Amino acid sequence: MTIRILIADDHPVVRSGVRTMLENESDMVVVAEAADGVEILELYERHAPDVVLMDLRMPRQDGVAAIRAIVAAHANARIVALTSYEGDADIYRALDAGACGYLIKDMLGKEVVGAVRSAAAGKRIIPPGVASRLAEFVPRIDLTARELEVLQLTAKGLRNRDIARVIGRTEETVKVHLKHIMAKLGVEQRTEAVTLALQRGIIHLDD
What's residue 138's pLDDT? 65
Tens digit of pLDDT for each residue in 14-64? 999 999 999 999 999 999 999 999 999 999 999 999 999 999 999 999 999
Query: 3-136: which CATH architecture?
Result: 3-Layer(aba) Sandwich (3.40)
- Each domain of the chain, given as residue ranges in start order, spans 3-136, 145-200
Tell me which fold the domain 145-200 belongs to. Arc Repressor Mutant, subunit A (1.10.10)
In this prediction the pTM is 0.84
Q: Which of 21, 176, 199 is nearest to 108 (CA)?
A: 21
Q: Are strands 79-83 and 51-54 parallel, antiparallel or unpaired?
A: parallel
User: Per residue in 176-205, is it b (16+ CB within 10 Å) or e — as a string?
Assistant: ebbeebbeebebeebeebbebbeebbbbbe
What's residue 136's pLDDT? 82
First to last CA, the chain: 40
198 vs 147: CA distance, rounded Å:
14
What's residue 134's pLDDT? 87
The angle, 0 to 180 degrees and rounded to 10, between the axes of the packed helices 160-167 and 171-185 is 110
The angle, 0 to 180 degrees and rounded to 10, between the axes of the packed helices 190-200 and 171-185 is 60
Answer whether 165's CB lies under 8 Å from 141's CB: no
Q: Which helix (H) or strand (E) holds 61?
A: none
Kindly tell me if the per-residue pLDDT of 207 is higher than 70.
no
Q: What count of residues does the chain have?
A: 207
134 vs 151: CA distance, rounded Å:
22
Query: Lowest-confidence range among 118-122, 127-131, 203-207?
Result: 203-207
HSE-CB at 67 with a 13 A cutoff on CA atoms is 29
Q: How many angstroms from the chain centroid is the CA of residue 194? A: 19
Tens digit of pLDDT for each residue in 134-165? 888 767 788 999 999 999 999 999 999 999 99
What's residue 109's pLDDT? 86
